[in-house]
Amino acid sequence: MARSRWMIVLWMVMGLTAAEADIYIYRDASGTLCYTDSPDARQIDLMGARPMGGQKKQKNGRMWSSSAYDAIIVRAAEAHSISFALVKAVIHAESGFNPRALSPKGAKGLMQLMPHNVAFYKIKNPYDPYENIMGGTAYLKSLLTDFKGNRKLALAAYNAGPTTVRHHKGIPPIAETRAYVAKVERFNSYYSAH
């Protein structure tokens, strides 16, 4: 019986498109596993990331699925020789998996690409998950290369800009940037372990 239930869940996850793959799992008060496509604060994303403080909700209360873009993240990570966990961690920290995220500074989409990066990487639609993740991962790879593989400096540059990091010869003394680097590092550890 339990095997049948897992086969049904696996079939549901594998058979749905990315937009439809928001399947969540949680334990009810009696300890029974429950599956749903309508998440709330009790629920855990079936494909690997329980809600952490950084997951964002829209005004209508929707929590974005942390697994909906895994196939694209795998492809981007492999194309740019970066770990899946790091790319997913950046997306989690940047947008909380919201493909329509827009910052007050004009950063767009899942990886919060600034307009100059959208232009540089020839991204036609920064809200398109595939284009955004591929462009954002290419940018992250360039920062890792520029900072000789130093992940913390590359992450600081992703947040504050490479010029600021070079000027300070390290992670700049900007509270937002320091918090950002720490957050991505936590998410990276989480995704690396799961």
**What's the mean pLDDT in 132-147?**
98
Highest averaged pLDDT of the listed ranges 7-16, 54-63, 100-109: 100-109
Q: Which two tokens stand for residue 169?
A: 């010869």
What domains can you pick out in the chain, each with its CATH number? Answer: 2-45 (no CATH), 70-193 (1.10.530.10)
**What's the mean pLDDT in 119-128?**
97
144-158 residue pLDDT tens: 999 999 999 999 999
Least confident of 24-38, 47-61, 155-169: 47-61
Q: Is the pLDDT of residue 35 over 50?
A: yes
Element (H, E) at 162: helix 162-168
**What's the mean pLDDT in 76-105?**
95
pLDDT of 67 = 86
Q: What percent of the chain has pLDDT over 70?
A: 68
Least confident of 5-14, 18-27, 46-55, 163-172: 46-55
Let me know the angle formed at the C-alpha of 9 by 82 and 43, rounded to the nearest 5 degrees: 75
Q: Residue 19 — very low, low, confident or very high, per pLDDT cuts 50/70/90?
A: very low
pLDDT of 63 = 63
Q: Is the pLDDT of residue 66 over 70?
A: yes
Q: Is the pLDDT of residue 45 over 50?
A: no
Q: Is the pLDDT of residue 24 over 70?
A: no
Q: Residue 64 — very low, low, confident or very high, per pLDDT cuts 50/70/90?
A: confident
Question: Where in the sequence numbering do the catalytic residues fall?
Answer: 94
Instruction: For the chain, count helices (H), then strands (E).
Output: 8, 3
What span, in angstroms and rounded, lies between the C-alpha atoms of 82 and 45? Answer: 23
Output phi, psi for 85, to 5 deg. -60, -40
Q: Which two tokens stand for residue 52?
A: 């952490």
Instruction: Starting at the earlier edge strand, list the strands of the sheet with 33-36.
Output: 33-36, 24-27, 44-45
Total residue count of the chain as it appears in this document: 194
**What's the mean pLDDT in 113-136?**
97
CA-based nearest residue to 20, from 28, 12, 30, 10: 12
**What's the mean pLDDT in 173-178?**
96
Let me know the angle formed at the C-alpha of 171 by 168 and 173, rounded to the nearest 5 degrees: 75
Q: DSSP letter for 132, please.
A: H
173 or 52, which is more confident: 173
Contacting residues for 18 by C-beta, under 8 A, at least 6 apart: 68, 69, 71, 72, 129
pLDDT of 125 = 97
